[in-house]
Amino acid sequence: MSTWKGSRQKRSKMVVRFTYPILLCTLILMYGRVDAADDLQENASSSSIQPLAEKKTESTQIGLFTMDELLSFRAGTKLPIFFPIRNLSLYPPLFLPQNLAKIIPFSTKEAAAVFHLFSVPPVSRQGEAFLGTLLTCEDSIKGENKICATSLDSMVGFVEKAFGPGVGFEFVTTTHPTITTPMIQSYTVLEAPVEIRSGKIVPCHPFPYFYAVYFCHSDPNYGTKAFKLRLAAESGGDEVEAVVVCHLDSKNLSSDHIVFRMLGIEKGGSFCHVFRQGDLVWIQKTTTPVAAM
């Protein structure tokens, strides 16, 4: 059992390695690699001595913008962005049935038994990523506004509670059906971003695990907006309809958060990030896209 608990320092290091605060978890996952958080941490440490222009370039490549930048995009705007292809060995597409998910332990205390059940070595690329998910879910869920959903029923139940009784909802997601090789390439904006009107927004991000697990969160005290952004690659003809979520208030982030260093914004300012394929944004069903002003 001590193998899984380890020291407090080791646990903290693993949590940092695999996750950042909730509002940036999609930026980590969109790299499609287990060591993505290490890369972001390294970039964040070095960015403090880089010119602001270089920081902006880095943030654009991972789909991170200020609200003003997003609203300034017009047809013809050039953006270098990386859109990964989902690694199905880390992010299985299917949930387990709820009755089965309930009887399989989902905790670090019983991780050894689960790894044995699925025949995955804990000291492996998959094993480290899956353990990182357990640590993140245990350390991050501190209220009713966050959940690591291990079944479709639990995810839908969380979304229903967030929207309230009698509210119909559906999800939108980033789509890029023609991309076969993930790479950072230059995209051209096809039209100004279109806002998706919804009274509430519930983002859900896939976490690496043996079966589908989604981290969902709802922040009633901090406003969010969602946009659709249509892009076309300058080479290869790839087209992307990206979903961009903007957080209107960053007061809940720590002062040394990576978002402030990469975008050069003040604490409390707004920021936006592109969702990768597989991330879900739950919205009210009656919503209609409107052109951003």
Which tens digits make up the pLDDT trace of 151-185?
999 999 999 999 998 899 999 999 987 776 767 88
Is the per-residue pLDDT at 281 higher than 50?
yes
Helix, strand or coil for residue 191?
Answer: coil
Q: Are 273 and 265 in contact (CB under 8 A)?
A: no
Q: What is the pLDDT of residues 64-122, one digit of tens each?
A: 898 999 999 999 999 988 888 888 889 998 999 999 999 999 999 999 999 999 999 98
Cα–Cα distances in angstroms (integers) from residue 287 to residues 107, 161, 183, 209, 276, in the given order: 37, 18, 33, 32, 21
C-alpha triplet 208, 213, 218: angle, nearest 5°: 115
The position carrying tokens 């139940």 is: 157
Phi and psi torsions of 276, nearest 5°: -85, 170
Portion of the chain with pLDDT greater than 90, in percent: 43
Q: How far apart are CA 8 and CA 25, in angstroms?
A: 22
Is the per-residue pLDDT at 136 higher than 60?
yes
Cross-strand pairs, 279? 277
Q: Are 214 and 168 in contact (CB under 8 A)?
A: no
What's the Rg (C-alpha) of the chain? 19
Is the per-residue pLDDT at 20 higher than 60?
no
How many C-beta atoms surround the C-beta of residue 222 within 10 A? 14
Using pLDDT thresholds of 50, 70 and 90, give the confidence band for residue 45. very low
Helix, strand or coil for residue 170?
Answer: strand
Q: What is the pLDDT of residues 207-240, one digit of tens each?
A: 999 999 999 988 776 788 999 999 998 877 788 9
Pull the structure tokens for residue 109: 């205390």
- pLDDT for position 286: 64
